[in-house]
Amino acid sequence: MTFTAILSQAKLLPTKLLITVQDEQGNSISGVQVKVYKSKEDYRNSSNELLSGTTGKKSKIKFKGAEAKIYFIDARKGKMKSDGKAVESESLSKGKGNKVTVTIR
């Protein structure tokens, strides 16, 4: 594979953040409002929201075009919400679909 082909392939494969939301028993939950932040400070202050959306029937939401970095995720439905370490993703791998499971209580 040539250098040009590698660059073209990298441009064609966006980095994705695939979030699944579940309850403490591992049950899927649809209709959860999900917000993604670039920093822990933004997450704590609920400011500078980067991405947002609502989980679908399979309790999943996908964001395309993410950067290869760590994100902070807030998920809420009614009185249930994410908190603590569950909100910090692993560093995303560039050009791949990165999966994160968030538990709300």
Q: What is the pLDDT of residues 73-95, one digit of tens each?
A: 999 999 999 976 558 999 999 99
What is the Cα–Cα distance from 61 to 84, expressed in whole angstroms? 20
What is the Cα–Cα distance from 97 to 60, expressed in whole angstroms? 13
Of 105, 103, 69, 63, the residue nearest 86 (C-alpha): 103
Within a 10 A sphere around the Cβ of 33, how many other Cβ atoms? 15
Q: Which amino acid is at 72?
A: F
Q: Which ranges of the chain have pLDDT less than 50?
A: 5
Q: Which amino acid is at 1?
A: M
| CATH fold of the domain at 3-103 | Immunoglobulin-like (2.60.40)
Give residue 62's pLDDT.
Answer: 95
Give residue 85's pLDDT.
Answer: 57
Give residue 48's pLDDT.
Answer: 94
Give residue 3's pLDDT.
Answer: 52
Helix, strand, or coil here: 32? coil
Residue appearing with tokens 């994410």: 82
